Chain A
């Protein structure tokens, strides 16, 4: 890519990033498969996700895509050592098919094309402190259609401006510990990029569900631990405030990682607890990474103690890396919202193909078939065009 093209791409990105929507950005399948054993090897954040560091940017061109310069701004300008910038721009085309007990619903087959993500990220550090912020404009996949035909006042355009992450880290030199305070996802489980995956959306890690928290992370030679105390958004979520804590420990071998975690969340009307584990195993000869996560949950309700419920949440599947810049996955997902009640479980088969033709560019395809408590069914097809700065 010549400098003019790179400059134009950057200009277009920065312009568009202010009118679109934010979303998630972690690629846990690159652990082991890219010769790196921890997420924080390539990301600044202590548990991965978000801005990638110098090492990650070199890997972006060398091993994760089919070439190119992964540096910020395509290497057009050298950032001062105390500053890092980045961003993600993602457009999506989505098609759904849905069947309920009443038959096929009327919006099935309709194509939705929408801006999915537009984040601008920056990190500035001074000595052992670093400030990280991600800012974007919230978008939506569908136009609002009041179901009863009436129009009510919606949140104004300015309310679409969101910062899903902003936090300060303190990481003294030669220390294994990092402290973090601010808004971020408390590290837990596989930390998949897809916010619609069951293990994310049903365990409280859906889109824009980042909590405010105080966390400590310890990174050892072959293990890492993250403990976070958190509260839901105290401003916009003040009507339904939740408090909680999340802990995760991961132990790594040469080609595998085994983690365990627990998450507690208290709201005025209910309490929810999750405990579970995750596992990754890299089969070098087959270029295959197996990923799995399983969580058992318990939820009790202040006003309905008889309706307390046990829950089960799981994900398992391989990711195959047939050649540089290409990965394909298939996974089984399961969520049972109440193990002691029939016909409330969800099953999904999700398959994805990711193609990174050059550093900074990704074409992503996803298909998902769901069975939602008999007799509901849902089918999703999605194409994403992704550019990262």
Chain B
């Protein structure tokens, strides 16, 4: 375990894959019971399903492929928009992974 910890990788080495981003970041952080779950649908947004979440983010232009000024990044950084999630920021490394995914074309 210690050997593994000593070989910690930089966040940028993680694969910027939508399925991973949804399962590891979006679903546990955003689809909470009081926010964007199927139960609450705060602001009419439901992030529980991986395909529906992808379609929503691109369909509503929260994410524009290759655009580093995508609305989602402003929300995740709390810049000129309310911070999401509001109770505490995502680790910057996770925001950077979302940024990398968008920069690579926001592929499904």
Contact = CB atoms under 8 A, between A and B. Distances in A.
A304 B32 contact: no
A240 B91 contact: no
A142 B86 contact: yes
B3 to A, nearest CB: 11
Contacts of A147: 43, 62, 71, 75, 81-82, 84
A7 interface: no
Nearest to A145: B82
Contact of B24 (A236, A307, A339, A343): A307
Interface in B35-87: 37-46, 48-50, 52, 60-62, 71, 75, 77-79, 81-84, 86-87
Contact of A376 (B41, B60, B71, B88): B88
A240 B49 CA distance: 6
B28 to A, nearest CB: 7
Interface stretch (A57-65, A95-103, A124-132): A95-103
Contacts of A372: 88-91
A283 B103 CA distance: 56
A306 B20 CA distance: 10
User: Interface size bucket, B side?
Assistant: 35 or more
A101 B92 contact: yes
A141 interface: yes
A269 B19 contact: yes
A373 B33 contact: no
Interface in A176-218: 196, 201-202, 206-209
Interface string B16-38: 01011011100110011110011
Interface string A143-177: 01111101111110001001000000000000000
B37 to A, nearest CB: 8
A162 B40 CA distance: 11
A240 B48 CA distance: 6
A341 B9 contact: yes
Contacts of A101: 77, 92, 95
Contacts of A107: 78, 82-83, 86
Contacts of B78: 98, 100, 102, 105-107
B91 A378 contact: no
Nearest to B61: A148
A14 to B, nearest CB: 24
B104 interface: no
A298 to B, nearest CB: 12
Contacts of B61: 148
Contacts of B27: 240
A64 B65 CA distance: 58
A337 interface: yes
A366 B95 CA distance: 28
B11 to A, nearest CB: 5
A301 interface: yes
Nearest to B5: A339
A378 B88 contact: yes
B50 to A, nearest CB: 6
A148 B62 contact: yes
The list of the 4 closest CB pairs from A to B, nearest first, reads A152-B44, A373-B91, A105-B78, A208-B33
Interface of A: 96, 98-102, 105-107, 138, 140-142, 144-148, 150-155, 159, 162, 196, 201-202, 206-209, 233, 236-240, 267, 269-270, 299, 301-304, 306-307, 309-310, 337-346, 370, 372-376, 378, 380
Interface of B: 4-5, 7-11, 13-15, 17, 19-20, 22-24, 27-28, 31-34, 37-46, 48-50, 52, 60-62, 71, 75, 77-79, 81-84, 86-95
8 contacts: A101-B92, A105-B78, A107-B82, A152-B44, A155-B41, A269-B19, A301-B23, A376-B90
Given A202-B28, A239-B38, 9 more contacts: A101-B92, A147-B84, A236-B37, A237-B38, A239-B52, A269-B22, A341-B8, A341-B10, A342-B10
